[in-house]
Amino acid sequence: MSVQIGNIDLGEFPLLLAPMEDVSDPPFRYVCKQNGADMMYTEFISSEGLIRDAAKSRKKLDVFEYERPIGIQIFGSDIEHMREATEIASLAGPDLMDINYGCPVKQVACRGAGASLLQDIDKMVAMTKAVVEATHLPVTVKTRLGWDDNTKNVYEVAERLQDVGIKALTIHGRTRSQMYKGVADWSLIHAIKKNPRIKIPIFGNGDIDSPEKAAEWRMQFEVDGMMIGRAAIGYPWIFREIKHYFKTGEHLEKPTIAERIEVCKTHLEKSMEWKGPKTGIFEMRRHYSNYFKGVPDFKEYRMKLVTAATVEEIMDILAQVDKKYAFEMA
Ligand SMILES: Cc1cc2nc3c(=O)[nH]c(=O)nc-3n(C[C@H](O)[C@H](O)[C@H](O)COP(=O)(O)O)c2cc1C
């Protein structure tokens, strides 16, 4: 059965790219879309930044036609400001708006935003209602199981947020206290899915890193789709690999060196296009080791790639990589 968010048809069992600060920008989203991500989100955007018209926040509003359906994710601690930020972000033309109630980092959660709203559900509900009322777009939410082991309140959160009009909920199977430690526990996500009161799509998130795990957790936890974050960093092929495995029960071939290079180049080109050559080249540096993870003795090339200052140098190094590994890795 097709998954619907408002009027958006996501097909059967969609795979979503997780919002990730400093990662899920348009260049990265481009390569994930090419490789099968069914829906994507921007990095989270500060409502305060949007209202102040801060350049960094405004830039994150950029969405492109090829990305659709795409959601803009916002966070904040002040209900009025979230309402205003929703109006501003909606004008950027996304397909939906998403609210972050999951971010655990101190600068966010200790300032009353992100996961901290899990400690004040009444406020979370009021904030969500304000966002829903401020836009003509469907609103979705991304959150965690609860604040800590003693307050895993996402079951109640799901019902109450559905009641004020959200159209889908993504749950990361960890509490705020866990940050990113331990193993994600999807059993509560399953319970919410089984709650007869819940009609909206429920997406599971946390620790999906292989086609087998995706298939197993799909069966076990009966979610409507999955959101994938870290496993896609430097490996956008995870989406197509999971889809292929679902369809055939067989593993798709791993990307060849030539494919890794090709995607890396595309990512770099898009990065330069969107950020300008200097920043584009600079910010691409954090991605090289991910794209070539597992390639033996890659260190020498990584060092060269992260110090290269021009696109010509980078292309030259990638050509050397191609030459060295094309046969070895075939
Ligand atoms: C580098 C990084 C940045 C992240 N930034 C965001 C963000 O901006 N908004 C958000 O909702 N979650 C953010 N997250 C959390 C992810 O969306 C996701 O919930 C988490 O990584 C668990 O999924 P995974 O195990 O598939 O990575 C971030 C995670 C990482 C690793």
What average pLDDT does range 276-286 have in this prediction? 96
Pairing relation of β-strands 2-5 and 8-12? Answer: antiparallel
* pLDDT band of 328, cuts 50, 70, 90: low
> Final residue of a domain: which of 179, 213, 248?
248
What average pLDDT does range 243-269 have in this prediction? 97
Residue 1 has pLDDT above 90, yes or no: no
What average pLDDT does range 257-265 have in this prediction? 96
Name residue 45's beta-bridge partners.
74
Residue 44 has pLDDT above 80, yes or no: yes
Q: What is the CATH number of the domain that holds 307?
A: 1.10.1200
Q: Is the pTM of this model over 0.85?
A: yes
Overall domain count for the chain: 2
Pocket-testing residue among 17, 21, 154, 210, ligand 1, by greatest number of atoms within 8 A of Cβ: 21
For ligand 1, atom 18: residue with the closest CA: 229
What is the structure's pLDDT at 120?
Answer: 97
What average pLDDT does range 246-255 have in this prediction? 97
Q: Which range of residues forms the domain containing residue 19? A: 4-248
Which one-letter amino acid corresponds to residue 166?
A: I
Q: How far is the CA of 103 from the centre of ligand 1 (A)?
A: 8
Tell me which residues are annotated as active site: 103
Q: What is the CATH number of the domain that holds 55?
A: 3.20.20.70
Residue 108 has pLDDT above 60, yes or no: yes
What average pLDDT does range 290-301 have in this prediction? 93
Residue 20 has pLDDT above 90, yes or no: yes
Pairing relation of β-strands 168-172 and 8-12? Answer: unpaired
Query: Is the CB of residue 94 less than 8 Å from the CB of residue 72?
Result: yes
For ligand 1, atom 19: residue with the closest CA: 172
Containing 141, the helix (H) or strand (E) segment is strand 139-144
The answer on 19 and 116 residing in a single domain is yes
> Final residue of a domain: which of 229, 248, 267?
248
Instruction: Please give all residues whose beta carbon lies within 6 A of any atom in ligand 1, as ranges.
Output: 18-21, 23, 43-44, 73, 100, 102-103, 142, 172, 205-208, 228-231
The tens digit of pLDDT for each residue in 21-34 reads 999 999 999 999 99
Q: How far is the CA of 112 from the centre of ligand 1 (A)?
A: 19
What is the structure's pLDDT at 53?
Answer: 94
Pocket-testing residue among 230, 235, 238, ligand 1, by greatest number of atoms within 8 A of Cβ: 230
The answer on 273 and 151 residing in a single domain is no
> Final residue of a domain: which of 210, 231, 248?
248
Helices (H), the chain: 26-34, 47-52, 55-59, 79-90, 106-109, 121-133, 154-163, 187-194, 211-221, 238-248, 257-275, 277-284, 288-291, 299-307, 311-328
The tens digit of pLDDT for each residue in 136-180 reads 999 999 999 999 999 999 999 999 999 999 999 999 999 999 999
Residue 88 has pLDDT above 90, yes or no: yes
- Looking at the CA of residue 205, tell me the nearest atom of ligand 1: 23
Query: Is the CB of residue 287 less than 8 Å from the CB of residue 264?
Result: yes
What is the structure's pLDDT at 110?
Answer: 85
* pLDDT band of 329, cuts 50, 70, 90: low
Q: How far is the CA of 313 from the centre of ligand 1 (A)?
A: 32
Report how far residue 41's alpha carbon sits from residue 305's, in angstroms, rounded to the nearest whole number: 28
Mean pLDDT of the chain: 96
For 278, the token pair is 């200097």
What average pLDDT does range 71-85 have in this prediction? 98
For ligand 1, atom 15: residue with the closest CA: 20
Report how far residue 147's alpha carbon sits from residue 201's, in angstroms, rounded to the nearest whole number: 23
Q: How far is the CA of 95 from the centre of ligand 1 (A)?
A: 20
Name residue 312's beta-bridge partners.
none
The answer on 234 and 119 residing in a single domain is yes
What is the structure's pLDDT at 330?
Answer: 52
